Amino acid sequence: MNILVCIKRVPDIAGSVTLDAAGTGIDESGLGHTMSSHEECAVELAIQTAAQAGGTVTVLTLGPAEAVEQLRAAVAVGADDGILVEAAGPSAFAPEDIAQVIGDVIRDRAAAGQTFDLVLTGDDAADTGDFQVGIRLAYDLEHPVLTNIQTISVGGADGGGGSGGERGSGRIEARGIGPAGTEIFSLDLPAVIAVHEGGVDPRYPSITGRMKAKKAQVVEYDAPDPGTGSPRIRLELPEVKASSVTILGEGPEAAPALVDVLEEIGVIRP
Amino acid sequence: MTIVFVETDPAGEVTLTSAEAITFARKNPQLLPDGGAATSREVSGPPSGSTEGVVIGPLSDAAVDALGRLGVGVIHHLEHPDLAEYSAAAWAQAIVDVTPESGTLLASGTPRGMELMAHAAVRTGARMAANVIAADEEGLLRQVHGGTAFERLRLDGDLQVLTIAGHACTPEETTPITPEIIAYDLTVAEADLATRVQRTEVEAADDASGLTSARAVVGAGRGVGSEDGFAEVLELVDHLGGALGVSRVVTGLGWRPHTEQVGQTGSRISPDVYIACGISGAIQHMAGIEGAKTLVAINTDEESTMVQRADYAIIGDLHEVVGAVNEEIVRRRG
Ligand SMILES: Cc1cc2nc3c(=O)[nH]c(=O)nc-3n(C[C@H](O)[C@H](O)[C@H](O)COP(=O)(O)OP(=O)(O)OC[C@H]3O[C@@H](n4cnc5c(N)ncnc54)[C@H](O)[C@@H]3O)c2cc1C
């Protein structure tokens, strides 16, 4: 089973941020970069599934040239190769544009003999939080799509390992958290699945993984112009609230003061 | 017209986040892409009836009553045996079937709301903005970068599709009205059922709803120290009849399940009090607790963001402090 995982290079933010001069993006100069957290789990799921079913894992990103770092990070933990769709200003692309570009690349790879039975994305990216790219991509590819999925396993009528057909064959079982419990889905391949973190723990790269990542094959595409373009006017920052904390004290001696507060709010069980 | 997808809980009640989304819709008639200048009856008429709701599956009297009090004038009630189990594609098509060609379609930013709106956006050829927190003449404002920044944007097209970020708006009732209920004869396409839920496994550990509805949540972060270090915080949870919420470091280390994670990629909570024990206050964690009415921090580091953002704080080792809080509660109970 050949799996494509779509990942995104995002700034690694822990505290507050500043905006760039144009006010349309955040100032990334002092920030490190990482892969969105749902996608880290998607990469892990892909590696486990390919190991179970036999097959390959390819990672794709639409982003700046530096996003090759995130592709190599995925190879270092077990992906086989990468596809970089180089876009100088990926924030100019709307979710529908990104889905279209990825769809076009998938069709182009198919024409070149590289087909994918399963396409994984994250539920949403840590920066834009759009929650649409996987779904829009699925419609573009005319594949069924699930979101909010935490684990997948190969299974169904013919074991799902591929029965020699031209494209993905077999079924896949997927599990995600729904409002009433764990929801289980069963899907024919090919399919698109958007992953939510929490079902698997992303692994750390091994020394050999890092070595392999340096030499990994990365196919490069130039991104076309964004079709619909981003609807963004500008970014704004939330107001910085001045701290108005009341320090109740230090150590265990402060406990009665906190119990007073909890009593006042009325949350202590009688 | 603004049409809101309404989620109900197993008891048939309108969920808190849907009540938020409805309130948001009612209070923002300018959500219409043309800035609200349209002459539709909904916008030019009295506030009652300006917002319509879509309910899929059983519609309880309690929900009709609640929707009336939230100012929903029309309930589009969609029931069909093929919609009994959740299938995003089939549910989204049912919603699209009752959505007018222009106006706004919205849902709360829950996993269901996000997924259904994205499907509906593709099926109607509309653009979608997730995690919207405000709307005015200039356009929409939505959370990006986990709430560190806001994006100001404008969705063109006759129909715009949105999700409202959790706790962006406090639910508010209005002059109660009796909603008109419209039922439909639906047809569900076989192809749309490919993504139907096969079965649901209900385990106590899966139930994140306790966390999102608890009045008191005790948060535990890396400061807890180990998988075995939760005794004091769990005892405090018990004293408060509340829920445990944890940071991503805690779930990442495998100390607690992901269902307990609070934050950008976990649950968004709005308890009366959140007691953050050994949590630094990273932006992605804060994104989940913005709705907390009172924030208490217990941390060794006075400079941590959590302490700076809290209403009340105790500086010290959480095991000692929480232990003493438990003892004090027991002592006062006598
Ligand atoms: C895309 C993305 C999504 C994310 N989503 C989430 C999310 O949903 N939820 C989330 O929580 N995080 C999320 N994170 C992670 C987030 O950035 C932080 O890494 C995480 O919240 C930190 O957890 P923590 O506060 O427990 O640990 P730390 O940041 O390590 O803080 C530990 C705190 O404990 C204090 N402490 C240590 N020992 C003691 C003691 N004995 N007594 C009292 N205090 C003590 C320390 O002073 C410190 O303040 C996300 C990150 C990314 C990149």
Inspect the interface and report whether the beta carbons of A251 and B314 lie closer than 8 Å: yes
The protein residue whose alpha carbon is closest to atom 14 in ligand 1 is: B284
Q: A143 in contact with B at a CB cutoff of 8 Å? A: no
Report how far ligand 1's centroid is from the alpha carbon of B268 (Å).
16
Ligand 1 site, residue B258, Cβ cutoff 6 A: no
Quote the ligand 1 centre to B254 CA distance (angstroms): 14
Determine the Cα–Cα distance for residues A3 and B109; give it in Å rounded to an integer: 29
Which residues of A fall within a CB distance of 8 Å from B209?
Answer: 179
Instruction: Note the pLDDT of residue B35.
Output: 42
Q: Is the pLDDT of residue B36 over 60?
A: no
Q: B161 forms bridges with which residues in the sheet? A: B105, B128
What does each C-alpha distance from A51 to A55, A122, A223 come to in angstroms?
7, 20, 31
A217: distance to nearest CA of chain B, Å? 31
Cβ contact, residue pair A269, B240, below 8 Å = yes
| Tokens read off for B249 | 């470091």
Q: Find the closest chain A residue to B114 by CA distance.
A: A131
The two tokens of residue A121 are: 């994305």
What amino acid is encoded at B244 in this protein?
Answer: L
List phi, psi (to 5°) of B120.
-65, -35
Which of A7, A125, A225, A135 shows the shortest CA–CA distance to B126? Answer: A135
Decide if pLDDT at B262 tops 90. yes
List the pLDDT tens digit at each of the 270 positions of chain A. Answer: 999 999 999 999 877 889 999 999 999 988 999 999 999 999 999 999 999 999 999 999 999 999 999 999 999 999 999 999 999 888 899 999 999 999 999 999 999 999 999 999 999 999 999 999 999 999 999 999 999 999 999 985 444 444 444 445 689 999 998 888 899 999 999 999 999 998 999 999 999 999 999 999 999 999 999 999 999 999 999 888 888 999 999 999 999 999 999 999 999 999
Q: In the predicted model, is pLDDT for residue B103 greater than 80?
A: yes
Give the dihedral sign, CA B213/B130/A95/A36: negative
Q: How close B291 gets to chain A, by Cα (Å)?
A: 15
Top pLDDT among B13 and B209 is at B13
Per-residue model confidence (pLDDT) at position A16: 80
* Interface subset of A 63-122, CB within 8 angstroms of B: 94-96
Residue A237, judged by CB atoms within 10 A of its CB (0-12, 13-18, 19+), counts as middle
Which residues from chain B sit within 8 angstroms of residue A15, using beta carbons? 282-283, 305
The reply to whether residue A251 touches residue B315, judged by beta carbons under 8 angstroms, is yes
Q: Which protein residue has the closest C-alpha to ligand 1 atom 11? A: B247
- Is the minimum distance from the CB of B318 to ligand 1 under 6 angstroms? yes
- The residue of A233, A234, A260 whose CB has the most chain B CBs within 10 angstroms, and thus the best one to mutate to test that interface, is A233
User: Using one digit for the tens of pLDDT, what is the confidence trace for B267-320?
Assistant: 889 899 999 999 999 988 998 998 899 999 999 999 999 999 999 999 999 999
**Ligand 1, from B144, B248, B321: best to mutate by most atoms within 8 Å of Cβ?**
B248
Give which of B112, B197, B269 to mutate to test A binding, by max A Cβ within 10 Å: B197
Ligand 1 mean position, distance from CA B276 (Å)? 10
Amino acid at B72: V
Confidence check: pLDDT of B119 > 50: yes
The rounded distance, in Å, linking the Cα atoms of A155 and A5 is: 20
Decide: B321 in ligand 1 pocket, CB within 6 A. Answer: no
Q: Is the CB of B268 under 6 A from ligand 1?
A: no
Which ipTM score applies to this complex?
A: 0.93
Q: Which of A167-176, B42-51, B192-201 has the highest mean pLDDT?
A: B192-201
Q: How far apart are CA A123 and CA A7, in angstroms?
A: 11
- For residue A235, the chain B residues in CB contact (below 8 A) are 144, 149-152
Does any CB of chain A come closer than 8 Å to the CB of residue B90?
Answer: no
Which pLDDT belongs to residue A190? 96
Do A47 and A78 form a contact (C-beta atoms < 8 A)? Answer: yes
DSSP state, residue A128: T
| pLDDT at B31 (0 to 100) | 76
Average pLDDT of the residues of chain B = 91
Query: Which of B279, B267, B261 lies closest to B222 in space, CA to CA?
Result: B279
Residue nearest to atom 2 of ligand 1 (CA): A37
pLDDT of residue A258: 98
Closest chain A residue to the Cα of B151, Cα to Cα: A235
| Cβ distance of A252 and B114 shorter than 8 Å | no
**Global pTM?**
0.91
Q: Residue B209 has what pLDDT?
A: 65
* Of A241, A238, A236, residue with least CA distance to A20: A236
The chain A residue lying nearest B147, using CA atoms, is: A238
A35 touches chain B (CB under 8 A): no
